Chains A and B, each alone.
Chain A
Amino acid sequence: MSYIRPKFRHPGLPKNELGYTIDHYEGSLSTLCAGCGHDSISAGIVQACYELNIEPHKVAKLSGIGCSSKTPAYFLVNSHGFNSVHGRMPSVATGANLANRDLMYFGVSGDGDSASIGMGQFVHVIRRNLKMVYIVMNNGCYGLTKGQDSATADEGSKNKAGSVNHFGAIDLSSLAIELGATFVAQSFSGDKTQLVPLIKAAMKHNGFAFINVISPCVTFNNNVGSTKSYDYVREHVEATSTVDFVPEMKTITTSYEEGTVKGVKMHDGSVIQLHKLAPEWDPQDRLSAINAVQHAKAKGEILTGLLYINEESKNLHDLMGSTNIPLNTLPESVLCPGSEKLKDVNAGLR
């Protein structure tokens, strides 16, 4: 268990505009390993929803299967959750969203869940620009099945068992931009000051908002030689977080400090570079976003922050021309054409 939540809160806990204290947004106790990056991301979601004055029951949280996909139980206890099947959360979220466009949808997935078994659904949910926040808790391994390499493990990275990965890594953020995702951000579970505003921005996005969060698995991929290990990183990442979220999309783009590169020394002495967006970089320009990500990659750096946004995007409902009223509330009188119309149908078939 990662932490024991105190039973009693200080009565003076601050309330948000809805009159809720932050514990109103928490979930049941996490059963993940102590120190697992995923728990920090859950905490980030709690914080973002609290700060944005979200009605928890107007949120639906969905996931696939994995340690990461267990987290919907650990945040927003007053929201309905759906821990579905491995790699298929995007389709379940699509159906749910089609049924009721008025809820806010949080999708939580892992790198195994999204980059391997669920790659097909990940790709297609992006194509459809489903309005949802989609967070991949990316640890470069399959936590729940005890640490096998995932498709996001870097080439040359060594896992706990000591074997070296020989395959190229799938970079979900680049892929998402390439596929036309309308909101792509990258962050680090240890960098809450950056992550929270990014989640808030994602929640306000009218379309598919993807956040790829590097979220170390302390149990299986925190060893010397792993490019996703980061005991050391935690100490340094805070200094790099300077993202602010003001609930107007346009101001997000200006809230970065000048391109800071943060070199993070790992356990084994290897370095992860956390790179802030450069000033000349225009997150509203897809080509420049792709360019910047690729450049950083070539240098062995990981860019974090908002990578790309198209704030004028149209979501799936807009594209399909579906009614503004949630489909699940349409009354029978609207749905059923009635017997008179059926007579015409019959007549046409004689």
Chain B
Amino acid sequence: MAGRTGNSKVNDFVVRFANVNGTGSASANFLFTKSIFRMGIPVTPKNIFPSNIQGLPTWYEVRVSEKGYLGRREGIDLVVAVNPQSMKGDVASVMPGGYFLYDSSKMLHAEYIRSDINYIGIPLMEMCNKEFTDPRQRQLFKNIVYVGALAALLDIELGVFEQLFKEQFAGKEKLVAPNMKALNMGVDYVKANFKCPLDIRLERRDLLKDAILVDGNSACGLGAVYAGATVVAWYPITPSTSVAEAFDNYASEFRIDKETGKKNYAIVQAEDELAAMGMVIGAGWNGARSFTATSGPGVSLMNEFLGLAYFAEIPAVLIDVQRTGPSTGMPTRTQQSDIMEAAYASHGDTKHVLLFPSTPKECFDMTADAFDLAEELQTPIMLMTDLDLGMNDHVSPPFEWDDKRVYKRGKVLNAEELDKIERFGRYLDKDGDGIPYRTLPGTHPTKGAFVTRGTSRDEYAVYTEDGDAYARNMDRLIKKWHTAKDMVPAPQIYQKKNESSSGIIFFGTSTYAAEEAMDILKEKKVSVDALRLKSFPFNKTVEAFINSHDRIFVVEQNRDAQLRSLMMIELGTDANKLIPVLNYNGMPITADNIIKQVLGVLSPAPQLKKVS
């Protein structure tokens, strides 16, 4: 076969698997990713799956990057095409000079032949039919055979696979041998028929150190266990479901009372998101740490309750794993498009604290922080993650927990403290920070009881329609909002001092692509200062960064530049100064895309060669 033109690409390429969902390809594809991870090479997989259970096309894209770029990259070097349905598009998706691996049990149709790419035909089905009798096994091992083929083509160490199989089948060791056999069938076939390895290939490195490979939703669930969440209420919705599942899994491991076998937590699958949020609020009101996880449609339904929690000042944690909206949108595609909805959820004057994690480690940390903030501020805290972060595996720094850390439970009065008070006033601003003291039901026989309500009340929680009392309360809530600015995580600033009159702000999963774009822009001698936002409200650092640049690129994955709007609203920043850099097709944003949009402004003629 023809050799690939151009430079050989060691540890720098993209492989895309085209599968049919429900055929067991997911575990084979993960095996491929994990083997690269085990070879110490930065790798980032993206599942591109349909909102469907069986039979529709699904893709799994794996980017390998020696430089540690973990964002998505356009341009596919090698396609593993085992889905006849999507064959046409899959052939077209290969970059010139790239490779097309297919099942040659059937002849490839002439329309799929391109002269500028290389074909690697392996009779996957034929080989499996000959070797295995059970139909399900034939299907599953077909996946392993192509992984074996890739091992030879890309130079993945076979010992790594053997170890992975041993771990996967611990307790069912007899499954290791047939899997290795299927793997070797693939290895042997390509070695006999093609020149191995290809010019795209892997070399063992030690770039990952103590990193872990995990999805953000698992990290959120684990973070909630560590943060002491005891009441979880949720309603199934992609892509957030696995947050609740992860909590349940970790809690059933770490939160079972040894003597009684009973659960030191409660998890309820609610009848809908309204109920889920109601349960969280009821539990928070009663002094338990509680959370729900949902996505945009769920947040829409939770609006009324979020307003109640804001106004009645009840701690609550909401993990919003964003997906492509509006409405049902593209339920299995990613987006950062709930920013506006979350920031001002509910009717009336409301503002909510948002946190923006960008790695699984931050999902863990910020989930834990969210519980502290919720109780300290007595308000809902929303963790804004997304499908890409939540459902895809990411190379991440390991989770850490400081055993000296103490949960910050906020201003809650106990019986002794109540005894010392003449008259308890739930909504009095005793400390001048806008944060009042609260009491929990059952604390004291005669002191501290009050009626929590979403209607206006005075400082002593007594119902009132006095406009002045209402306004005083609303003003105190704004004072609390200002207090929050110094409590939420500060942004990450990438330079010691400003080096450019242009700045770029990004957050969440745009970070991967944005950091890569920054490097490339630097190579092109285009200087832009960078800030990664971690929270809303914007604190002073964010404001200072914006004010000290003439122009700010705001990178986000939605159509309406929602974060940019927040800056205009909350900081009064001139709209002309804030240049939106957007991506909203449901696929994670790429560095190329950011560079193109930035250079479109910073230099009149785009200097970039098109990659794809």
Contacts and interface: CB of A to CB of B under 8 A. Distances in A.
B502 interface: no
Interface stretch (B96-104, B256-264, B336-344, B582-590): B256-264
Interface stretch (B112-120, B142-150, B222-230, B323-331): B222-230
A1 B270 CA distance: 39
A342 B451 contact: no
B444 interface: yes
Interface stretch (A78-86, A133-141, A152-160, A296-304): A78-86
Nearest to B257: A323
A328 B441 CA distance: 11
Interface stretch (A91-99, A197-205, A210-218, A251-259): A91-99
B304 A85 contact: yes
Interface stretch (B171-179, B396-404, B469-477, B522-530): B396-404
A91 B231 CA distance: 12
A330 interface: yes
Contacts of A124: 270-271, 275
A72 B451 contact: yes
Interface stretch (B60-68, B125-133, B183-191, B286-294): B286-294
Contacts of B268: 94, 98, 128, 320
17 contacts: A62-B282, A80-B451, A82-B452, A84-B278, A85-B454, A95-B280, A95-B284, A95-B285, A98-B230, A98-B231, A98-B266, A100-B286, A100-B442, A321-B262, A334-B255, A341-B254, A350-B211
Interface stretch (A50-58, A166-174, A186-194): A50-58
A93 B268 CA distance: 13
A323 B281 contact: no
B252 to A, nearest CB: 10
A145 interface: no
Contact of B266 (A82, A327, A350): A327
A345 interface: yes
A269 interface: no
Contacts of A94: 233, 268, 275, 278-279, 282
B442 A99 contact: no
B156 to A, nearest CB: 17
Given A121-B278, A124-B270, 18 more contacts: A55-B445, A56-B449, A57-B441, A57-B446, A78-B446, A83-B453, A85-B278, A92-B281, A94-B275, A95-B285, A99-B285, A103-B441, A123-B271, A124-B271, A322-B263, A334-B255, A342-B226, A346-B210
A58 B250 CA distance: 33
Contact of A336 (B211, B226, B265, B284): B226
B287 A100 contact: yes
Nearest to B463: A73
Interface string B205-218: 00000111110000
B26 interface: no
A124 B212 CA distance: 41
Contact of A82 (B210, B211, B305, B451): B451
A7 B399 CA distance: 61
Contact of B283 (A90, A98, A336): A98
Interface of A: 28, 55-58, 60, 62, 72-73, 77-85, 88, 90-100, 102-103, 120-121, 123-124, 128, 317, 320-324, 327-328, 330, 332, 334-339, 341-342, 345-346, 349-350
B399 to A, nearest CB: 5
A82 B231 contact: no
Contacts of A85: 278, 304-305, 308, 454
B284 A334 contact: no
B286 A88 contact: no
A278 to B, nearest CB: 35
A57 B305 contact: no
B288 A328 contact: yes
Q: Rank and list the top 6 A-B pairs by shortest CB-CB distance, nearest first.
A: A95-B282, A91-B278, A99-B288, A95-B279, A80-B441, A81-B451
Contacts of A103: 286, 441-442
A57 B275 contact: no
B225 A327 contact: no
B274 interface: yes
A221 B476 CA distance: 41
A96, A123, A320, A334, most chain B CB atoms within 10 A: A96
Contact of A83 (B398, B440, B451): B451
A346 B451 CA distance: 45
Interface of B: 37-38, 210-214, 222, 225-228, 230-231, 233, 250, 254-255, 257, 260-268, 270-272, 274-288, 290, 304-305, 308, 398-403, 406-407, 439-446, 449-455, 462-463
A92 B284 CA distance: 10
B406 A332 contact: yes
Nearest to A337: B254
B439 A80 contact: yes
A133 B108 CA distance: 70
B278 A322 contact: no
B479 to A, nearest CB: 25
A328 B287 contact: yes
A93 B282 contact: yes
Contacts of A81: 449-452
A54 B257 CA distance: 31
A94 B281 CA distance: 10
A90 B282 CA distance: 9
Contacts of B230: 98-99, 327-328, 330, 335
A102 to B, nearest CB: 7
Given A91-B279, A327-B264, A342-B400, A84 B308 contact: yes
B263 A321 contact: yes
B278 A88 contact: yes
B401 A336 contact: yes
Nearest to B407: A332
B42 to A, nearest CB: 14
A57 B304 contact: no
B255, B285, B446, most chain A CB atoms within 10 A: B285
B456 to A, nearest CB: 12
Given A57-B441, A345-B222, A99 B290 contact: yes
A88 B312 CA distance: 15
A337 B257 CA distance: 12
Given A79-B441, A342-B400, A346-B399, A96 B225 contact: no
Contacts of B270: 91, 124
B37, B212, B281, B442, most chain A CB atoms within 10 A: B442
A337 B265 contact: no
Contacts of A97: 282
A99 B399 contact: no
Contacts of A88: 274-275, 278, 304-305
Contacts of A328: 230, 283, 286-288, 440
B275 A91 contact: yes
Contacts of B287: 99-100, 328
A349 B213 contact: yes
